Structure 1
Amino acid sequence: MASSFRIRPAVGSDGSFLGDMVVEAANWRQGAARPRHEIIGGDDHRRYVAGWKRPGDAGFVAEDSAGGPVGAAWYRMLPRTDPGFGYVGTGVPELIIGVRPVWRAHGVGRALLQRLCEKARADGFARLSLSVERGNFAATLYRSEGFAVVEAGHGRDTMVKRLR
């Protein structure tokens, strides 16, 4: 597999692929895959893609050299009344990232994360939050990109990056 990819802004028609990436993120453990309908059908994960792309949503999609999507990172403003796993407060968007397994460890996740942080900074946000399950290899990436644990929950950590 060639590790060449390009990144483009996510658009409204990317909603289904973002759902696929929520499934990839939720199924990060080898051999513990839950079906798409179970993950996206549940309230815990549906909030990350339902109604994509609404005002305030922003994201990026990585594509391989043939134009096929291989990963995505995006953020949403989630209300206090329906918080996500990484909710830290009003006015702090929560980011979600997923990369197809064959494309992991090729720089796709890092490139997406960096572009999304640049976009959030340009959009005037002071912080970005996320949630990561303990043991997930992605936590190392998040720490290396400036995210720090602000809350330890039940098997997962909430991390925040200050953008300014």
Structure 2
Amino acid sequence: MPETWSLRPAVQADGAFLGDMVVEAANWRPGAARPRHEILTHPDYRRYLAGWQRPGDVGVVAVVGAEPIGAAWYRMLPRTDPGFGYVGTGVPELIIGVRPMWRAHGVGRALLRNLCASARAEGRARICLSVERGNFAQVLYRAEGFAVTQSGFGRDTMVKRLA
């Protein structure tokens, strides 16, 4: 990969690409890909995208030139419509996805660090996420200070203290 990548803030126009990254995140397991439309129309995933860049939404996109290759963002989800990794009111839930050919090149780590720094700058004390057991991303999350706080059916909720 001769080109280098950089980061930029996510904007409202990135909504479709964030959808691509939700599909990448949901289909992390090789050979077990679910159809894009099935993921994007499912309420469990739609909550991470619907009305993107509403108040409280913050994100970062990794790009090569103008081409997006990965993204991380967080949303403040209500108790009445919690995400997979919901831990409480006022704790943003992070979503991250990186195109397969750019995985293991530091893109995910840079996205994660940038987004955690944004949450800290906003005064957030914690940030959470959900990861399926067996997903190689768990190693990254642990290395970046996330700890499992809840184990669910096939997935774990992880939280990082930002203070």
Same fold (TM over 0.5): yes
Using the alignment, how far apart are the partners of 2:130 and 2:10 within structure 1?
A: 21
Residue correspondence of structure 1 range 43-82 to structure 2 within 5 A:
43-64=43-64, 66-82=65-81
Identify unmatched segments of 5+ residues in structure 2: none
Letter in 2 for 1:22: V
Aligned position for 2:10: 10
CA RMSD of aligned residues (A): 0.6
**Length-normalised TM-score, structure 1:** 0.98
Structure 1 position 36 matched with structure 2 position 46? no
Using the alignment, how far apart are the partners of 2:14 and 2:154 within structure 1?
A: 30
Once the 2 structures are TM-superposed, how far is the Cα of residue 3 of structure 1 from its aligned partner? 5.6
Deviations 1:108-161 (A, max 9, x none): 000000000000000010000000000000000000000000000000000000
Aligned position for 1:106: 105
Using the alignment, how far apart are the partners of 1:16 and 1:45 within structure 2?
A: 13
Contact kept in structure 2, 1:6 and 1:62, CA below 8 Å: yes
Contact kept in structure 2, 1:128 and 1:163, CA below 8 Å: yes
Using the alignment, how far apart are the partners of 1:79 and 1:102 within structure 2?
A: 34
Once the 2 structures are TM-superposed, how far is the Cα of residue 87 of structure 1 from its aligned partner? 0.1
Identify unmatched segments of 5+ residues in structure 1: none
Q: How many residues align?
A: 163
Aligned position for 1:93: 92
Instruction: Describe the SS at the equivalent of 1:45.
Output: helix
